[in-house]
Structure 1
Amino acid sequence: MSAITLGVGASHSTLMNTHWDKVVHTERAAAFRDSLQHVNRRLRELNPDVAVIIGSNHFRGFWLDLIPSFTMGVGDVIASGESGTPKGPQKTDPVFANQLATHLVEAGSEVAISARLQIDHGQSHAIQYLLDGIDIPVVPLVVNVFAQPLPTIERCATLGRRLADAIEANAEGRKVVVIASGGLSHQLPWPSDWSNPQDDDEEFMVDAWLNGRGEWERYDKRRREIIVAAQPCIFEDFDAQFLADLEAGDLEKYTELSTPELEKIAGNGGQELRTWLVMAAALGFAPGSSLCYSPMPEWLTGMGAALIEPAGGDA
């Protein structure tokens, strides 16, 4: 029987790679970086066999021509390599990944599969920092958090519970770490309704989302200019409460929120917290430990990191 040995939640931002020299809140940035290094050391101690990385995709592997609610990489996994993140093929375990996908589908969570999945920093940021020097296969699980309509938060929690069952059903005795990449609160300069862009920038973004398949790099320069020019919008009170609820083992209540309700209190980028809730559900919504919270307007995001030990573990 395989088992989850640790749950991890960590924010991501490519601006951490490209704009470190422009950071004003240096101590906050260093604290977040140090929290990622703490997780890396913890994972080295645990010596897991495989990492399931739950994250988003920022229109480098999925486009508006086809975006499933949930997609699991069950074959080749290719990282885009944008903004200094890992690039190229990643180590995988197709047999294990297919077993997870099959179990999830048979349990009623219809995950799409990809035998050649292109990931971006929605997963590769975790590979770069959390799995640095840890040579284990990754199983990406992509959650649609950007193209409306989004999967309900309750459905994401159900996916997490069934993911835990799927891991436990594997008879090979794997030690599995479940990593959630994304959040915390932030507001991205993206159209709220991709079918009705409001200005030139939004029209460009929709064009990139719809026509970027196979040539996302053609759009990347202007995309990045639009993002870097955005005004930061971080909901610090929400982030503090979310991490406090994680520590108390009380994240399940967030499954009652609708998509508009979550956006109102955490921004459109806060929809990425679905990944944390999938992870937390896989850990049985056990109490966890918050390692860091750094509101980083320079990176447009409330940056946080946390651990959840399996029930009976010691955080």
Structure 2
Amino acid sequence: MGSFVWAAATAHTGAMMRLPDGGADEARAEQVFNGFRTLASSLKAARPDVLITIATDHFLTYGYEFLPIFSIGTGDRFEGWGEFGVPKRDYKGVAPFGEAVQNGLVAAGFDAVGARDVKLDHAFSCPLQLLLRDWDVPILPVYINCTVAPLPSHARALAFGRALGDVVRTQGVSQRVAIVGTGGLSHWVGTPQTGTINTGFDRRFLELFTSGRLDEIAAMDSDWVIDNAGNGAAEIRNWLAAAGAVNAKGAREIAYEPVAMWNTGIAVTEILS
């Protein structure tokens, strides 16, 4: 039987591997990094056997020729792409745990693809670099399509997370499980609006998330979110899945900063269950 010993949700961008040089952005970036240091410390103290990492992909591992809605890494090792300025790093996995999670999710009605040799882009590697800066723990990469329509609804992502949590609590491979969902918040990628940060959206989202009002987030129209907070904000699905897995009662906001050089509203939270 497994139990969750730690849970978090964070924004990310590959650009955050570069520290802004001076000005307000540098101070904002330092607050973000301090937030990740806080999370890294609490994660290490939780002594997990495995860290479930829920993220997406940016046309490196998955593309139009093969694009699952959900996939589960079922291997013993996951190679990082090392793109977009993120240092290349590979991660250990726990194959029997990945297989148990995939089997359990399929039995629960989620046709999650098993991806034994899945490679990880900055959606995974960027937050992991910051959370595992000077130590290591095996990971389970969980992919949700947040990039190319048709996307799973926010409600479906939340239901997926709740099913994932049920599977973790009933499997017998890994006892102490940590989980992080990562992506967003407001940012536009590859559009004329790139560089825009909607702090109003970010603040409203964080208000709902930290107070545990997940069903209200899940009810948000996907097109409305993308129109108002950018195509990168589609990644709030990963936050919903992580929070759903641990039956979150809320979350603690550790940091939120709109960093102009990173073109992204960056938040760091620890989920409370």
In which range does the TM-score fall when normalised by the shorter chain?
Answer: over 0.9
State the Cα deviation string for residues 265-312 of structure 1 (Å, max 9, x = none): 3211100111001111112131110101000121010000001122xx
Instruction: Tell me how far apart the structure 2 counterparts of residues 53 and 116 of structure 1 sit (CA, whole Å).
Output: 16
Deviations 1:211-232 (A, max 9, x none): xxxxxxxxxxxxxxxxxx9741
Alignment of 1:97-116 (within 5 A): 97-116=98-117
1:74 equivalent in structure 2: 74
Query: Offset of 1:139 from its aligned partner?
Result: 0.5
Q: Tell which deviates more after alignment, 17-26 or 243-252.
A: 17-26
In the other structure, the counterpart of 2:11 is: 11
Counterpart-to-counterpart distance in 2, 1:185 and 1:15? 14
- 1:285 and 1:92 map into 2 onto residues whose CA distance is 25
Q: What is residue 150 of structure 1 aligned with on the other side?
A: 151
TM-score with structure 1 setting the length: 0.82
2:210 to 247, 263, 269: 247
1:128 match:
129
Who is 1:214 aligned against? none
How many Å apart are 1:256 and its aligned residue?
A: 1.2
Instruction: Give CA-to-partner distance per residue, 1:132-174, whole Å, 9 cap, x none.
Output: 2332111001111111111111111111000000100112451
Residue ranges of structure 1 left out of the alignment (5+ in a row): 191-228, 311-315
Between the aligned partners of 1:287 and 1:230, the Cα distance in structure 2 is 31
CA RMSD after TM alignment = 1.7
The superposition leaves residues 38-62 of structure 1 with CA deviations (integer Å, 9 ceiling, x where unpaired) of: 0001111111110000001011111
In the aligned structure 2, how far is the partner of 1:22 from the partner of 1:61? 35
The answer to whether the Cα contact below 8 Å between 1:252 and 1:285 also exists between their aligned partners in 2 is no
Task: Tell me the residue number matched to 1:303.
Answer: 266
Post-superposition Cα deviations, 1:184-214, rounded to whole Å, max 9, x if no partner, equal 1111115xxxxxxxxxxxxxxxxxxxxxxxx
Alpha-carbon deviation of 1:131?
2.0
User: Which one-letter code corresponds to 1:59 in the other structure?
Assistant: F
Does the C-alpha gap of structure 1 residues 151 and 90 become closer, same or farther in structure 2, counting only changes over 3 Å? same
CA distance in 1, matches of 2:53, 2:65: 24
The C-alpha deviation readout for 1:90-147, integer Å capped at 9, x for no partner, is: 1110011100110000011111111110110111112200122332111001111111
Q: Distance in 2 between matches of 1:173 and 1:179?
A: 16
Aligned to 1:269: 232
TM-score (norm: length of structure 2): 0.94
Instruction: Note if contact 2:72-2:141 (Cα within 8 Å) is conserved in structure 1.
Output: yes
- Name the SS for the 1:124 alignment partner: helix
Aligned to 1:219: none
Higher alpha-carbon Rg: 1
Letter in 2 for 1:112: V
- Distance in 1 separating the partners of 2:248 and 2:201: 19
Task: Report what 1:38 is aligned to.
Answer: 38
Q: 1:24 to 1:163 in 2, by over 3 A?
A: same
Q: Distance in 1 between matches of 2:29 and 2:157?
A: 30
Instruction: Indicate conservation of the 8 Å contact 2:15/2:85, yes or no.
Output: no
**Residue aligning to 2:20:** 20
Which letter does structure 2 place at the counterpart of 1:27?
Answer: A
User: Which secondary structure does the structure 2 equivalent of 1:68 belong to?
Assistant: coil
